[in-house]
Amino acid sequence: MKRYTYNCEQGCPVDSTLQVISGKWKAVLLYYLFENKKCRFGDFQRFLPRLSARMLALQLNELEQDNIIAKKVFPVMPPKTEYKLTKFGQTLQPLIDEMVRWGEYYNTVHSEQTEG
């Protein structure tokens, strides 16, 4: 996916961030990488059974193109591939941590509203 960098009005850095982590699964994939340090393709499939192999490959490829994750292919049979965060990708940790905190807060508020 082509990324754009431009001189722009306020809010543009938010758009830049969303270009990198948007998509139904990217932030969740990053969460699992922060939790596990490195993951294989099959690990992601176990963590996210609703995610198709095609979509998983696409999302991982986009994160790799943006230098957020690195892919390491081992020369063994059957092929073994591991994904891990790059140093640049690790800079997203505070953002993912805040998303986790906010999601927990949202779930708490939402469950209180549906119960009461």
d(CA 107, CA 61): 31
| Residue 111: per-residue pLDDT | 82
Domain ranges in the chain? 12-115
Instruction: Tell the residue number behind the tokens 């192999």, with chain if given.
Output: 53
pTM: 0.84
Tell me which CATH code domain 12-115 carries: 1.10.10.10
**Using CA atoms, how far apart are residues 86 and 106, in angstroms rounded to an integer?**
30
Work out the average pLDDT over 66-91: 96
Residue 50 or residue 2, greater confidence: 50
Burial code of 36-65, b = ≥16 C-beta within 10 A, e = fewer? eeebebeebeeeeeebeeeebeebbebbee
* Torsional class of 40: left (φ above 0), alpha (ψ -120 to 50), beta (otherwise): beta
